[in-house]
Amino acid sequence: MRTRSIIDTANDAFVAIDAADVIKDWNPQAELTFGWTREEAMGRNLAETIIPPAHREAHLEGLHRYVLTGEGPMLNRRVELMEDVRFAFQAHVLIAFALLAFWPFTRLVHALSAPVGYVTRPYIVYRHRDKENARP
């Protein structure tokens, strides 16, 4: 029970597989990282679920080597790839990048925290002094 609690509250994704490359455990952070719910991931083949196609053969060879020798160069290493995640997750990331690339961050913050009319305002507002009431 304590181990389950630690895995479920970990800040990193935790994925456990068996010798046949079948997913046996999947924590909430793995759901956020890979875009698959625990129910969807459990029982699936790890290579087909989250390993990018270009790396699948190397993954399967490494798993086979680990089963035979108990040694694996990828064990306990952080690997960061965003290649074979679901389209909805990729689209979410790309839209966020595009939004920040085309709209300055400070304007974006104001637009999201101000009324909708703020979006249509000119970017730069110039103010002129009233010449009649101006001080000498």
pLDDT tens-digit profile of 5-14?
999 999 989 9
Q: What is the pLDDT of residue 114?
A: 57
The CATH superfamily holding the domain 2-83 is PAS domain (3.30.450.20)
Q: Taking the model in full, what pTM does it have?
A: 0.57
CA 58, 59, 62, 67 dihedral sign is negative
What are residue 16's DSSP bridge partners?
25
CA angle 79, 82, 88 (to 5 degrees): 140
Contact status, residue 51 vs residue 41, Cβ threshold 8 Å: no
102-135 pLDDT tens trace: 776 666 666 666 566 665 666 665 666 666 665 6
Q: 35 phi and psi, to 5 degrees?
A: 85, 10
